[in-house]
Chains A and B, each alone.
Chain A
Amino acid sequence: MKSSLEELSLELVRLARSKGAEEVECTVSEGEEFSVNVRMREVENIKQAGSRGAGLRVLLGQQSGSAYTSDLSREGIDRMVESALAAARVATTDPHAGLPDADTLGALPGELGLYSKDLEQLSEETKIRQALEAEEAALSFDARIVNSEGGSFSSHLSSTAFANSRGFSGSYRTSSCSISVVPVAREGSSMERDYWYTLSRSHAALESPAEVGRTAAGRAIRRLNPRRIATQKAPVIFDPRAARSLLDHIFESVEGNAIYRNASFLAGCLGNKVASDHVTVINDATIPGLFGTCPFDDEGVPSRRTVVIERGVLKSYLLNTYTARKLGLKTTGNASRGLSGNAGIGHGNFYMEPGPQPAPKLIESARNGLYVTELMGFGVNTVTGDYSRGAVGLWIENGELAYPVSEVTIAGNLRHMLLELEAVGDDLEFRGSIASPTLLIREMTISGQ
């Protein structure tokens, strides 16, 4: 049986066709959100609401135009259809524009664990209580936790439907919830904050609020009284939270738009050795229950598992139908878009495979260097690979974490960083759709005093 959203998406496809669109893609979504923020043991704010929206992409020949609306009245929908057609009329004919071939359309079968009923029944009181518990655990963890930016609980329930004029339609529901805490530690004149969080598709699978609070507090405390260090070249270790950003950069460098535009340091490198033997990077949107999982991508192509880098060799880019046609390749089912527009490219569960060693072994083998726990700023250029970011962390002395460090930058080039990636930890865990174990890079430039 089709959901009412899916029926609506099919109806909008028919409507756009009747108004002159040759090909149509339609997304309809609706969602409910709840969030509570508490601070210093009091409720600070609560938000609760729902919203809906629809988007269309139409093709006139190979000219494509799009429109979206949150006004689902008859008038709002008519305006959307007219807007999309008007947009298509001003676009240029693009020989590669079009919908996916009919034989590539479809959805993953089976239960993917994207929706949990336990969130439907969860009471407002429980959500507030868990936010309070998480913050309380942080505040009572240590006398140096003197303040807090708060604790929060948030949950989302959403439904998405997609249909196109080549006969595809599908819909799915997702649920998610999270607990986070941002404690502030103080000692003398030093004041530092950090955060920790848990998130899951079901309430039952969340980590305990107290554990989240304690972890956040521990992270804030170990940042107190940071030192600055001398400018030098040294090994750099990224903890799993910081290492996720490197996976972001790898994703940006292998996604099809950057590749066909030649705007990536990995463009043209298919089959080449682009990283050390320790590096295997996977995109997998089929793993049940995870945040990067879905039955089909945003143009109706079934989700799949793609090996992007295998033992250092670049095996595949991540593509949608358009970029695949540009490059003479096949889509990898990575189309992504909001309500409308030409599909961009997104990732499923995008991660680096874990290595054999626990993180402490990596720290030991680095001897002297920087253990990075947080990165700041946007100084990464995936066209050239140039990398320069602010870093916060701990100095490694004789193979052990010795003291906190802040106000330094780490710099290098992604090309070299990947080739000089010396070790991968065994501590892969998913907190969101991008994940990485601890990573050790042989040498980067650290700027300090």
Chain B
Amino acid sequence: MGLSESFIAQKFAITERDLERYLAEALSSGGEYADLYFEYLSTTSISLDESIVKSANQGVIMGVGVRVILGERTGYAYSDDLSPERILKAASVAGRIAATSATQPPLNLRELDRKWDLYPVVQAPTDTPLNERVRLVQRADEAARAYNPRIFMVHASYLDSLRHVLVATSGGQLTHDRQPLARLNVVALAREEGSPPHRGFHGGGGRVGLEFFLEEKTPEYFAREAARQAIVQLEAADPPAGETVVVLGPGWPGILLHEAVGHGLEADFNRKGVSAFTGRIGQQVASPLVTVVDDGTLSARRGSLNVDDEGCPTARNVLIENGVLRGYLQDQLSSRITGAQPTGSGRRESYQHIPLPRMTNTFMLAGESDPEEIIRSVDKGLYCPVFGGGGQVDITSGSFVFSASECYLIESGKLTRAVRGATLIGNGPEALRHVSMVGSDLQLDEGVGICGKEGQNVPVGVGMPTMKIDKMTVGGTAQ
């Protein structure tokens, strides 16, 4: 892969010499490290409700971010104008605000010898005819309505993007990547005559081509699940309040791991000593049944990247191994400061943002228990297979929450009745100590996750097998 294969280098006639000149300008005030992040992002969104395609929207965002590091200090500037003068200006500003004394290291860019492509999508969805994509939301609408006559409102939306990036660093690294991403969302509302409506939501996608929605996970698949969830809610009772045994279903409930441990293991928080996990590497922080990894190298997943947003190859990073805390997620700045090995976890929302250590696809490895056996083992508890909303964590105290949207009471080893959603709350370094059974049914989520940190949103994945936690607080209303 040469620079000649970079969309951005071609479109804006950028040569290696240009990049070297920009980096030299960035370092001309004395910075130790600089990088350039060029981005060209094309997006499409299509929205349907009341069976009407009410809007389609297409857009282009482009720009370059220049970062300069000196010690622990970062200077950052960006430009949405990719002319050499404006890039040099941004480089100069970033350099000046990061540093004050001048030294000039030599620079020689080498292209990363990348032989892999985790998302070799021949035609990105963004490049397919619009009417084929419009058809996806129409099919979702039809399927959700056909599922049950009590479905009275369907809101389907489809979003895709194609991001081209080019990263050059003063460490000599030069990489580029083409990152397709697509998702389909379906919200269905159900109503019984004379009673209030209930909502169901399902969606998914990944770094995939349009064929994913035509062959693997169809609009009908997402629509029926959204409709099913809404119908279940019609019969659901008030959720319980207080501490109980909780069994989490496989897949998206893995958001527990993202909140309970993932954020607390991001290197910036630990370098600064503000995480509840600071200084706990090597300690037992979870049941020996628990092994959690963050893996950016999975094929076609929403959270996957060939290279992170600092040009570093992504990796499979073990966070917790048999209950023992193993490692942090590093970005360039944190690994420079602490001397830790990079983990390929430096990510940013766009060229306007400073990279931070972030998760990719975070999940727990499968255990040995039969999922049905896990339910049978519970005398009284709550089974939570569907989590509609997101979660949140206070990394300093370790408190985290995540919100179930569909739950069932477990009584004497059987699922007895559906209850409505509730927030579950726990403490990161404590909660996973109470894991007593881990199922053999590891699933990754469908591909809708968005993680927010310091105002920056990035796509992520989560996953988990069925798992039993002996003690967790459920925020319902029934006592």
Residues of chain A at the chain B interface (Cβ within 8 Å)? 39, 42-49, 51-53, 55, 64-71, 76, 79-80, 83-84, 86-92, 94, 97, 124, 147-149, 184, 191-193, 223, 226, 231, 233, 261-263, 265, 339-342, 376-379, 381, 383-384, 386, 388-390, 392, 406-413, 445-449
B369 at the interface (CB under 8 A from A): no
B 54-87 to A, binary, CB cutoff 8 A, 1 in contact else 0: 1111111111000000001111111110000000
> Which of B111-119, B170-178, B392-400, B461-469 lies at the interface?
B392-400
Among A262, A388, A447, contact of B152 (Cβ-Cβ < 8 Å):
A262
- CB–CB A91/B53 < 8 A: yes
- CB–CB A39/B60 < 8 A: no
State whether A66 and B57 are in contact (beta carbons under 8 Å apart), knowing that A43-B73, A388-B421 are contacts in the complex: yes
Cα distance, A46 to B153, chains bound together (Å): 47
B423 at the interface (CB under 8 A from A): yes
- CB–CB A49/B403 < 8 A: no
Residues in B neighbouring A49, C-beta threshold 8 A: 76-79, 90, 93, 352
- CB–CB B272/A39 < 8 A: yes
- CB–CB A87/B58 < 8 A: yes
- CB–CB B420/A384 < 8 A: yes
Tally of B interface residues using CB under 8 Å? 81
B232 at the interface (CB under 8 A from A): no
Among B59, B60, B198, B401, contact of A389 (Cβ-Cβ < 8 Å):
B401
Among A68, A261, A413, contact of B57 (Cβ-Cβ < 8 Å):
A68
- CB–CB A447/B473 < 8 A: yes
B 74-110 to A, binary, CB cutoff 8 A, 1 in contact else 0: 1111111000000000100100011000000000000
Nearest B residue (CB) for A374: B394
Residues in A neighbouring B458, C-beta threshold 8 A: none
Among B48, B57, B189, B191, contact of A341 (Cβ-Cβ < 8 Å):
B57
B338 at the interface (CB under 8 A from A): no
Residues in A neighbouring B214, C-beta threshold 8 A: none
Residues 269-293 of B at the A interface (beta carbon under 8 Å): 272-274, 276
Residues in A neighbouring B53, C-beta threshold 8 A: 90-92
Cα distance, A51 to B79, chains bound together (Å): 7
B475 at the interface (CB under 8 A from A): yes
State whether A379 and B54 are in contact (beta carbons under 8 Å apart), knowing that A51-B352, A262-B153 are contacts in the complex: no
- CB–CB A390/B420 < 8 A: no
- Identify 9 residue pairs between A and B in the complex whose beta-carbon atoms are under 8 Å apart, listed by A's number: A46-B97, A92-B52, A191-B276, A231-B242, A262-B191, A265-B196, A341-B55, A411-B423, A447-B242
Among A94, A381, A389, contact of B199 (Cβ-Cβ < 8 Å):
A381
Distance of B70 from chain A, by nearest CB (Å): 10
- CB–CB A79/B60 < 8 A: yes
Distance of B428 from chain A, by nearest CB (Å): 11
- CB–CB B241/A87 < 8 A: no
Distance of B191 from chain A, by nearest CB (Å): 8
Sample of 19 further A-B pairs with CB below 8 A, known A379-B389, A383-B196, A447-B474: A44-B74, A48-B93, A65-B56, A70-B80, A71-B62, A80-B60, A86-B130, A91-B53, A148-B274, A191-B274, A233-B479, A263-B189, A376-B399, A377-B423, A388-B421, A407-B399, A409-B241, A409-B401, A409-B475
Distance of B332 from chain A, by nearest CB (Å): 13
- CB–CB B197/A263 < 8 A: yes
Nearest A residue (CB) for B422: A388
